[in-house]
Structure 1
Amino acid sequence: MEGDLEGRVALVTGVSRRIGIGFAIARDLLAAGARVLVHSWAPHDAEQPWGADPAGTDGVLAALGGIGPRLAHVAADFADPEAPARVVAHAVETFGALDVLVANHARSSIQDLTEVTAAELDLCWAVNARASVLLAQAYAAQHDDSRPGGRIILFTSGQHLAPMSRELPYAISKGAVQQVTLSLADALADRGITVNAVNPGPVDTGWADPELTRSVARALPAGRWGAPDDVARLVRWLASDDSAWITGQTINSEGGFRRWVM
Structure 2
Amino acid sequence: MSKLPHPTPDELRREPLPLRGRTALVTGASRRGGIGHAVARRLAAYGASVYLHHHVPHDAAMPWGADRPEDVVASVREAQGDPDARIVAGPGDLADPAAPAELIATAAAALGGRLDILVANHALSGSDGPLDAIDATMLDAHWAVDTRSVLLLVQAYVRQRTGLPQGSPGGRVMMMASGQDIASGMPHEIAYALQKGALASITRSLAPTLAAHGVTVNTVNPGPVDTDYLTGEDHAAVAARFPAGRWGMPDDPARLIAWLATDEAGWVTGEVINSEGGFLR
By the TM > 0.5 criterion, same fold?
A: yes
Is 1:251 the counterpart of 2:273? The answer is yes
Structure 1: how far apart are the matches of 2:77 and 2:214?
32
| TM-score computed with the length of structure 2 as normaliser | 0.88
1:87 pairs with one of 72, 83, 103: 103
CA distance in 2, matches of 1:210, 1:111: 22
Task: Answer with 144-153 or 127-136: which moved more.
Answer: 144-153
Q: Is 1:77–2:93 an aligned residue pair?
A: yes
Which 5+ residue runs of structure 1 have no aligned equivalent?
none
Give deviations 1:241-262, integer Å, cap 9, x for gaps.
0000000000000000111xxx
SS at match of 1:119: helix
CA distance in structure 1 between the partners assigned to 2:16 and 2:181 by the alignment: 33
Structure 1 stretch 220-229 or stretch 140-149: which is displaced more? 140-149
User: Cα RMSD between the aligned structures?
Assistant: 1.5
Write out per-residue CA displacement over residues 104-158 of structure 1, whole angstroms, 9 at most, x where no aligned residue: 1111234112221211110111101011100000000011253122100000111
Is 2:51 the partner of 1:37? Answer: yes
Could you say which structure has the higher helix fraction?
1
Identical aligned residues as a percent: 51
Q: Which amino acid aligns with 2:114?
A: A
Instruction: Report deviation, 1:190.
Output: 2.4
Contact kept? 1:99, 1:150, Cα under 8 Å? yes
For these two proteins, the number of residue pairs brought into alignment is 256
Corresponding residue of 1:193: 215
Please state whether the residue corresponding to 2:212 is helix, strand or coil.
helix
CA distance in 2: counterparts of 1:12 and 1:63, whole angstroms: 14
Question: 1:16-52: per-residue Cα shift (whole Å, max 9, x none)?
Answer: 0101100011011111110111100011111222222
In the alignment, structure 1 residue 52 sits paired with structure 2 residue 28: no
Query: C-alpha distance in 1, partners of 2:191/2:118?
Result: 24
Q: Does 2:137 match 1:119?
A: yes
Report 1:1-262 matches (<5 A): 2-53=16-67, 56-65=68-77, 70-95=86-111, 96-109=113-126, 110-143=128-161, 144=164, 146-162=167-183, 163-259=185-281
Q: Distance in 2 between matches of 1:178 and 1:237?
A: 19
Alignment partners' CA distance in 2, 1:52 and 1:212: 23
The answer to whether the 8 Å contact 1:2/1:31 transfers is: no
Tell me the CA shift for residue 179 of structure 1: 0.7
Greater Cα shift, 184-193 or 71-80: 184-193
